[in-house]
Amino acid sequence: MVCGVIDSSMYHAGTFLSVPGSRLRDRLRNGMSDDQNLKSGERRHATMLFSDMTGFTRLSERLDPEDMDALMSSVFSSFEGIVRSHGGTVEKYIGDALVAVFGVPNIHEDDPSRAVSTALAFGRELRRINERFRDRSIRLDFRTGIHTGLVTTGKRGEYDVVTGHAMSIASRLETEAPVGGILVSAETKQRCAQDFMFDTGHTLTLKGKEDSIEAYRVLGRNPNPMFGGSYFANRTRELEMLTRTFLRHDSEQPGGFMLTGQPGLGKTRLAGRFIEQIKAFPGFSAPVLTARARRYRDLNFAVIIDLLLTYFSFESSHDAAYIAEETARLLPVEHKTAAGFADLVQNSDAPTSETQSIVVLFAIFKAILEKHVDSAFSTLVVIDNVSVLDEESRDFLRFFLENSAVKPFFLFTGRKKPPLIDDLLPDVETLKLEPLSAQACSDLVDMLWPECSDPSIRNAILNTAKGNPLFIEEYVRYARESHHKDLTTVPTTIQSIFLSLIDAFPVPMRELLTRVSVFIESFTTEDMAFVQRRTDGETGIIDEALDLFIQEGILVSNDGHYSFRYDMFKTAMYDSLLNHNKRILHRIVADCMKQQEQPHTGRLLHHLVHAESYEEAGSTLLDVHDLHLNLAYLPYIDLLLEKLPADERSRRLRLMFAKSAVNINNGNMRETDIAVRELLDIAMNEHNVEYAASAFHLMCGHQRQNYNFEKARISGETAIQYYNTLIEASDTKSGALYTRHRSLRRNVFGILSVTESLAADRNAARDFLRRIEADCAGHGDCETAETAGYRASYYLLFGEYARGMAALRPYIEPYDADPDSSSQEAIYLGMLLSRQLCDYEAVIALAAKLSKIPETSYPNRQTHQSQVHSMLADAHYFLGEPKKATEHLRQAEFYQLQIRSDLDRIDALRSLTSASLIVGDIEHADRFARQCIGLGMQHSAYYPAFSALIVLAELLHGREDFIGRDFFLMQASYYVATGFSLPRRDLIIYHYLQDLACPDGCPAQQDRTRALMQAEIEQMASETQRKRLLAVRSLGCAHDTYLTERPPRDTSEKR
């Protein structure tokens, strides 16, 4: 039962101290101004390459300085060209070392692969250089280290700079690399493991870094980079469709298949599984040529050459002579053609025109197809990521298809089908992959992480990944490796995919998309314009940008509001913002929200706190009317307490009181005890009356919830005396402090009124209600939903349900009107009273009204929801809807299982026990009752425990287990003897069963049953409600036994 909550909303007056965050304090301490303009740059994961020459000192001693300078300039000029061709940037030179970055300024999802490919290209270039200088006994060698990690970009003066520890790790890996070798970190290897071959790795404890890291030596390119991976997502239908198309192919006609879909949906792995399947066909001997198109390859006809290399299985260590010899041995081609092919593979300096190259490659390709023309299956050519197919390879394929009599079957993959595919193969069949089904996603998690036993982590992975198998794999890996359950962070692989998708957008549009990622939920064009104006952005691009973002599937539109299709995309954008820019943008969004008529308080607080506007955040927080109920505010209270200086006693008190009130009203008793002790320590040590009043006020509510009525009385009366002292000491009778202290005192009156009602002291309870009324005399703002709730609780506990509803009516009617969150408690009490009045239509209507209030506003949300669903189960059952009743029972049980506090669980179990019995679910009623009794006795929670005892006695009586019945009735009798308030209908059934337990009847029990039953009937406003009352559990039997004419009682046996 929710009543007598502690209110902290009166702590809204006064100015809250602005306490700068640590970064802001550092800026002020260093004499720097707090720049309110956005800085250029961002946070992102990039790959750093550090390559250093070995033996530089010895070589410089041998060569003239000018010759040495010319040599190094030639080497680094070549290296710089290689870096640029791979989409990287030379960040700087340090003596005889080169530092390059991949992912800045342009990010690609395969930046780690680009960096490793660059290092391998360095090796090829050095072999050429060393060959030229062989006659001078000059040999150049480099060591290379590569690491992928977080960096920030920005400007230092006129220079673009990259900052981050990733650079120093790459440098240290370089020092550990073998001469002429490449050493990469585990982070880099993990993101390009399918593209290259690595050794087994070893652990390095690097100087200057506390933790050891795993390092791996690069052994060369993976000859089949597309088809690694540990899993295959369930794509049976697509695999069958692809296989049928391949088997129908006529090698005299061009044919193929195009797989499209968003990144991560499994296009490449589907292609790999298809290859595995056809290779397993009996008699399959046709060639399978595979390649992945890349933007950065420094090799002419890169894709065609990669396709051919998979046929020959050549390695990077093979020289041109070996390649030529093997080519001529395996294929019927001239030696000149084989030698030309070897030169193309080695990317030699031999002068070869594009036409000559096409002729050579055509001859090799044609020879392969003709060699296998009699095979039962067509030659298969697979090109992954075809949208970035290099121009030379595209021209070759067009030439080949026009001039070759034998045609292979092509399988292309890519995000979209590029125009060149229709140009090459007008009749190609296209299949767009969709996200996996829920069951397929669940099966994939089981396969990737079979030992995962935490359903919350599992569900978070499934909900976040949105059916994308790569995302599932990455989130599983992230959760396993980090041992941390917060999956709000986007794994770096996924972040790079998202950032690379927008890299081709115009810069102003990229900046706009990143800025709106600060909004928590949706935003409008007006919101976007506000942000653009405040950041000197272009407002004229908004409409065009929105069209682009929606077309690309990044944003979705809903009635003029826009939001990110995937939360992880938004998170990736937000994470890329510099922390400085996040602070500025949160401030701007907060200002934008303040222009709204009723801004969402929680979201506004979020933006103010992240803007480090602590003064305004404090004022906003302490002005929230449901602050004392809402758990969502606790993190903000804790943060503001952390930012307050120790000498700000008054403001600290308000926040501590608010925190304690939230914890008490949400059943967090341990946190409440800590806060109360801290308040008492301050009060006693500093003789502070206000802190003492707050501490005893909190103890009063705390003890009331624990059914410690005497302690609640003592604490409450003590708090009242302290508040009286503060009120009498006020200089003015209308100031903020005077008003606040009177409001706090009324809150204590309300808690004590509920306490005395539970203790069955009607006069004392009514006296506290009168004290509230007297305090409000002459003050029109005193009558609130809270004070009405105290009266309604009083009437509920003393069986005057109609009067209780009358007290609440101004705050809950009309039922179909949108509720104010401040009336949440009144609506819930209205449901309790309507159930007692058997007005089940009102129960359902009030539940619908309650559902319109955000769940974050509920105190004890799980307890609250459990009891609401229990009441709805009662209502639907009596309205002839048993299926709905059962559904609500299961919902009630679901929420009950999530409750942390024992006292809250006891209340939820009491409601579940009664509702289960009413619906006829005897098994669950028995189980819930026993759980409720065990916890209730442990915590002396007599009120709910009594209900559970009577339910069990009722059940056992129905089974004619009279010994068991009498046992529970005996336990219940101890609670009756206390004289405390007990649930009235359970009390009726108790007296009824006690009378049945007496062999000769018990007149006292009969009289008590008759009086209580008559009082309940008199509360019913209609004949319908009266009939419903008599259908509740054993009440009809009690009525028929004592309030109707009946024959003399048979006393021949004990019942």
Q: Whole-angstrom Cα distance, residue 620 to residue 611?
A: 14
Does a structural domain hold residue 209? yes
- Give the residue-averaged pLDDT of 79-97: 86
The reply to whether 252 and 208 lie within a common domain is no
Largest CA distance in the chain: 129
Q: pLDDT value at position 286?
A: 92
Backbone angles phi, psi at 789, to 5 degrees: -65, -35
Nearest to 220 by CA among 201, 202, 200, 195: 195
Joined together, the tokens standing for residue 684 give 């006693």
- Give the residue-averaged pLDDT of 496-525: 89
pLDDT band, residue 363 (cuts 50/70/90)? very high
Contact status, residue 577 vs residue 43, Cβ threshold 8 Å: yes
Q: pLDDT value at position 61?
A: 66
Rg (CA), the chain: 38
Q: pLDDT value at position 957?
A: 94
Distances (CA, A) of 460 to 201, 419, 476, 609, 854: 32, 39, 10, 26, 22
pLDDT band, residue 565 (cuts 50/70/90)? confident
Phi-psi region of 385 (alpha: psi -120 to 50; beta: other; left: phi over 0): left
Contacts of 257 (CB under 8 A, 6+ apart): 242, 245, 246, 409, 410, 411, 412, 428, 429, 430, 431
Joined together, the tokens standing for residue 619 give 């004022």
Q: Which tens digit of pLDDT belongs to each residue from 427-485?
A: 888 999 998 888 888 888 888 888 887 777 888 888 888 888 888 888 888 787 766 55
Model confidence at 945: pLDDT above 50: yes
Q: What's 902-952 look like in SS3?
A: HHHHHHHHHHHHHHHHHHCCHHHHHHHHHHHHHHHHHCCCHHHHHHHHHHH
DSSP 351-417: ---HHHHHHHHHHHHHHHHHHTTTSSS--EEEEESGGG--HHHHHHHHHHHHH-SS-PEEEEEESS-
The residues that bridge with 383 in the sheet, in sequence order, are 291, 412
Higher confidence at residue 153 or residue 607? 607
Model confidence at 486: pLDDT above 90: no
Q: Whole-angstrom Cα distance, residue 918 to residue 1032?
A: 7
**Residue 1054 buriedness (CB in 10 A; 0-12 / 13-18 / 19+):** exposed
Model confidence at 9: pLDDT above 50: no
Helix axes 902-919, 922-938, angle to 10 degrees: 150
The residues that bridge with 147 in the sheet, in sequence order, are 48
Q: Which tens digit of pLDDT belongs to each residue from 143-180?
A: 999 999 999 888 777 777 888 888 889 988 998 899 98
Q: Whole-angstrom Cα distance, residue 146 to residue 100?
A: 10
The CATH number linked to 331 is 3.40.50.300
Q: Which tens digit of pLDDT belongs to each residue from 788-823?
A: 899 999 999 999 999 999 999 988 887 777 776 668
The reply to whether 202 and 275 lie within a common domain is no
End position of a domain, from candidates 221, 239, 274: 221
The reply to whether 231 and 185 lie within a common domain is no
Model confidence at 308: pLDDT above 80: yes
Number of separate helices (H) and strands (E) present in the chain: 46, 16
Q: Whole-angstrom Cα distance, residue 69 to residue 76?
A: 10
Higher confidence at residue 974 or residue 137? 974
Does a structural domain hold residue 196? yes
Does a structural domain hold residue 128? yes
Q: pLDDT value at position 210?
A: 59
- Give the residue-averaged pLDDT of 958-987: 93
Contact status, residue 471 vs residue 262, Cβ threshold 8 Å: no
Q: Whole-angstrom Cα distance, residue 116 to residue 86?
A: 10
Determine the structural domain holding residue 410 and report its residue range: 225-431
Backbone angles phi, psi at 102, to 5 degrees: -120, 120
The reply to whether 324 and 413 lie within a common domain is yes
The reply to whether 284 and 427 lie within a common domain is yes
Side chain identity at residue 531, one-letter code: V
Q: What's 57-90 look like in SS3?
A: HHHHHHCCHHHHHHHHHHHHHHHHHHHHHCCCEE
The reply to whether 187 and 246 lie within a common domain is no
What count of Cα atoms within 13 Å lies in the side-chain half-sphere of residue 293?
21
The dihedral through the CA atoms of 341, 345, 349, 354 has a sign that is positive
The reply to whether 112 and 199 lie within a common domain is yes
Is omega for the bond preceding 999 within 30 degrees of 0, making it cis?
Answer: no
Backbone angles phi, psi at 228, to 5 degrees: -90, -160
Q: Which tens digit of pLDDT belongs to each residue from 901-939?
A: 788 889 999 999 999 999 999 999 999 999 999 998 988
Does a structural domain hold residue 167? yes
Beta-carbon count within 10 A of 117 CB: 25
Does a structural domain hold residue 939? no
Does a structural domain hold residue 622? no
What count of Cα atoms within 13 Å lies in the side-chain half-sphere of residue 247?
12
The overall average pLDDT reported for the chain is 84
Beta-carbon count within 10 A of 245 CB: 17
Residue with tokens 């019995």: 917
The reply to whether 158 and 276 lie within a common domain is no
Q: Looking at residue 823, what DSSP letter applies?
A: G
pLDDT band, residue 1001 (cuts 50/70/90)? confident
- Give the residue-averaged pLDDT of 727-749: 84
Least confident window among 238-252, 301-315, 1000-1014 = 301-315
Q: Whole-angstrom Cα distance, residue 1033 to residue 1016?
A: 14
Model confidence at 348: pLDDT above 60: no
Beta-carbon count within 10 A of 884 CB: 16
Contact status, residue 1039 vs residue 985, Cβ threshold 8 Å: no
Q: What percent of the chain has pLDDT over 90?
A: 39
- Give the residue-averaged pLDDT of 103-129: 88
Higher confidence at residue 490 or residue 399? 399
The reply to whether 390 and 487 lie within a common domain is no
Q: Whole-structure pTM over 0.95, yes or no?
A: no
Joined together, the tokens standing for residue 955 give 């059940």
Q: pLDDT value at position 1014?
A: 94
Q: What percent of the chain has pLDDT over 70?
A: 89
In 726-867 the beta strands, taken as DSSP E runs, fall at none
Contact status, residue 873 vs residue 915, Cβ threshold 8 Å: yes
The reply to whether 62 and 195 lie within a common domain is yes
Q: Whole-angstrom Cα distance, residue 225 to residue 215?
A: 21
Q: Looking at residue 746, what DSSP letter applies?
A: H
Query: Hey, what's the torsion of the CAs at 148, 201, 218, 327, to 10 degrees?
Result: -140
Q: Which tens digit of pLDDT belongs to each residue from 826-856?
A: 899 999 999 999 999 999 999 998 888 765 5
Q: Whole-angstrom Cα distance, residue 741 to residue 723?
A: 6
Model confidence at 734: pLDDT above 70: no
Q: Whole-angstrom Cα distance, residue 695 to residue 664?
A: 12
Q: Whole-angstrom Cα distance, residue 80 to residue 90?
A: 7
**Secondary element (H or E) of residue 94:** strand 89-94
Higher confidence at residue 598 or residue 742? 742
Does a structural domain hold residue 283? yes
Q: Whole-angstrom Cα distance, residue 213 to residue 215?
A: 6
The reply to whether 389 and 407 lie within a common domain is yes
The reply to whether 399 and 460 lie within a common domain is no
Higher confidence at residue 986 or residue 464? 986
Q: Whole-angstrom Cα distance, residue 689 to residue 684?
A: 9
Q: Whole-angstrom Cα distance, residue 109 to residue 500?
A: 6
The residues that bridge with 144 in the sheet, in sequence order, are 51, 182
Higher confidence at residue 198 or residue 69? 198
Q: Whole-angstrom Cα distance, residue 741 to residue 746?
A: 9
Model confidence at 20: pLDDT above 90: no
Q: Which tens digit of pLDDT belongs to each residue from 641-653?
A: 888 877 777 778 8
End position of a domain, from candidates 221, 240, 256: 221
Number of domains in the chain: 3
Q: What's 608-641 look like in SS3?
A: HHHCCCHHHHHHHHHCCCCCCCCHHHHHHHHHHH
Nearest to 576 by CA among 89, 157, 103: 103
Joined together, the tokens standing for residue 309 give 């290399």
End position of a domain, from candidates 171, 191, 221: 221
Q: Looking at residue 576, what DSSP letter applies?
A: T
Model confidence at 547: pLDDT above 50: yes
- Give the residue-averaged pLDDT of 24-31: 36
Q: Whole-angstrom Cα distance, residue 867 to residue 895?
A: 9
Does a structural domain hold residue 537? no
Nearest to 603 by CA among 572, 577, 629, 633: 633
- Give the residue-averaged pLDDT of 635-645: 86
Model confidence at 859: pLDDT above 60: no
Q: pLDDT value at position 41?
A: 87
Contact status, residue 338 vs residue 328, Cβ threshold 8 Å: yes
Contacts of 801 (CB under 8 A, 6+ apart): 795, 833, 836, 837, 1019
The CATH number linked to 142 is 3.30.70.1230
